[in-house]
Amino acid sequence: MFIIGSPDIDVMLSDDLPAIDEVLAYYEIPFSDYAIFTYHPVTTELPLLRDHFRQVIGAIDESGLNYVVIYPNSDTGAEIILEEMEQLKGDARFRLLPSMRFEYYLSLLRNARMIVGNSSAGIREAPVYGVPTINIGTRQMNRFKYVSIFDTPNDKEKILMAIKSCPAVFPVSLHFGHGMSAKLFMEILETGALWETPKQKQFCDIKMMNWQVH
């Protein structure tokens, strides 16, 4: 096993990402000071989803910030979120988008005030840019923890407090890679260590190993 980091980080740290002005123009986003909001269904909590989302919507509405809102994924319950999102349409502080090109999204994220919701982008990508995350609910339970990630329940007042009290600047995190995974991958292919690894599969009795099975 060779640890090279996530190839996504190579893209994130690239100098070839589109400029933020290009992104705002392409997606007709009318503000340059904004947060990103993405909230996906938690399929194990479907009976609570509508109430949870109403709590979240109430908090972001009262926060007074501008938001680029990305639609949820297609998991069961997405239709509930889309129904509740209808109330945001026509509000000048919210730009709703079904999806975005990955590179454009990265530029948007890099320049965002924060990301709010329960998307994995708040756990994996946002810390790479030092962008704070208001991580809501249980969807990302036991994932990577960092000083820029603030966990909160699906509670309007607690979400609102987290948004308003969140510091603006954090050190970047390179926990998932340093932007050199492609280079490291090629170096491994060019060395003998990879090709000398035995290819014959083996059975290994765990009783013979120093593992504790619980």
Out of 52-61, 66-75, 168-177, least confident range: 168-177
CB neighbour class for 24 (10 Å; exposed up to 12, middle 13-18, buried from 19): buried
Note whether residue 43 is domain-resident: yes
Question: What does the alpha-carbon distance between residue 32 and residue 148 come to, in Å, rounded to a whole number?
Answer: 21
Query: Domain residues for 96?
Result: 11-165
What per-residue confidence (pLDDT) applies to 209? 55
Instruction: Give the 3-state secondary structure percentages of the chain, helix then strand then coil, rounded to 5.
Output: 40, 10, 50
Q: Is residue 116 part of a domain?
A: yes
Look at residue 209 and tell me if it is in a domain: no
Residue 212 has pLDDT above 70, yes or no: no
Encode pLDDT of 136-149 as tens digits.
Answer: 999 999 999 999 99
Q: What is the CATH number of the domain that holds 132?
A: 3.40.50.2000
What single-letter amino acid sits at 17?
L
Domain membership of residue 205 (yes or no) is: no
Q: Is residue 183 part of a domain?
A: no
Within-domain flag for 194: no
The single-letter DSSP state of residue 72 is: P
Looking at 10-82, which runs of residues are DSSP E strands?
Answer: 35-38, 67-70
Assess if residue 177 is contained within a domain: no
Which pLDDT value is given to residue 214?
A: 46
- Residue 184 included in any domain: no
For tokens 């530029």, the residue is 107
Tens of pLDDT, residue by residue over 80-130, are 999 999 999 999 999 999 999 999 999 999 999 999 999 999 999 999 999
Residue 103 near residue 83 (C-beta atoms within 8 A): no
List phi, psi (to 5°) of 70.
-100, 130
Structural domain count, the chain: 1
Residues 6+ apart with CB under 8 A from 94: 66, 67, 69, 88
Q: Quick one: pLDDT at residue 203?
A: 82
* CA end-to-end distance (rounded Å), the chain: 25
